[in-house]
Structure 1
Amino acid sequence: MENVTHEEQQESIKAFQSTIRKSENALVNMTQKRNNTTLLQKRLQALYIGLALLEKVWNQKSHPYMEEDIAEARLVLMGLFPSLENMYDKSKEGSPQKTLLERRIKAFRLAVQAMDDFIQ
């Protein structure tokens, strides 16, 4: 995994925590409206795993995830890059949204790297 500053580590963890919180809230709302939540649940699981892998690498925290769960989470996170990058390209330069997306993309890339290292 690439060398990452402590500040970048903290930003990445916060980006995952924020995305998880937003996804959990969306899941509650979708469940109340009886909408299909399968995709969101799959993404949320991938976010949990991504965060756990980063915390393992940087903070030596353990996690309960099996290699197959990590491999599936990796594919889910990889599948999010095109839409994140599209939103990033469309966001206004210097805007808070652009900064948030930049941090989120970096955090997801670092998590994918951690997953790659774990799977190999």
Structure 2
Amino acid sequence: MENVSHEEQLESIKAFQSTIRKSENALVNMTQNSNNTTLLQKRLKALHIGAALLENVWNHEVEPHSYTKEEITEARLVLVGLFPSLESMYTKSKAGSPQKTLLERRIKAFHLAVQAMDTY
């Protein structure tokens, strides 16, 4: 896994936390409206796994998470599957905008999580 500054580590964790919060809020709204939540639940689990593995790698912990190899593999596929839409939104966002900065951090965080998943 690439060397990542402490600042980038914090930004990546914040990016995951923000995405998790937004996904949890969306899940509540979708559940109230009786919408199908299977895909969102799958993404939310992948986000939790990605965040946990990044913290694991950066805190040099041996085995603090309880995820199976299969769960990590599935989470990796989910995160990789999000890249095209994230990159599309990034391309369409205005230069220097807060949205573009947020997307940069989110994309970086997801790439780092995928790298961490590759080590398991």
TM-score when scaled to structure 1? 0.97
What letter matches 1:13 in structure 2?
Answer: I
Aligned to 2:106: 104
Aligned to 1:24: 24
What letter matches 1:31 in structure 2?
Answer: T
Distance 1:59 1:25 in 2: 29
Question: Displaced runs of 4+ in structure 1, greater than 2 A?
Answer: none
Q: Which of 54-63 and 96-105 deviates more?
A: 54-63
What letter matches 2:26 in structure 1?
Answer: A
After TM superposition, list the pairs within 5 Å mapping 1:1-120 onto structure 2: 1-61=1-61, 62-118=64-120
Distance 1:87 1:112 in 2: 20
Report the Cα offset of residue 59 of structure 1. Answer: 1.7
Distance 1:82 1:7 in 2: 26
Report the Cα offset of residue 60 of structure 1. Answer: 3.7
Distance 2:116 2:46 in 1: 13
How many residue pairs get matched? 118
Distance 1:53 1:60 in 2: 10
Report the Cα offset of residue 79 of structure 1. Answer: 0.1
SS at match of 1:2: coil
Identity %: 81
What letter matches 1:43 in structure 2?
Answer: R
What letter matches 1:87 in structure 2?
Answer: M
Distance 1:108 1:22 in 2: 16
- Give the gaps of 5 or more residues in structure 1: none
- Give the gaps of 5 or more residues in structure 2: none
Distance 1:93 1:68 in 2: 39
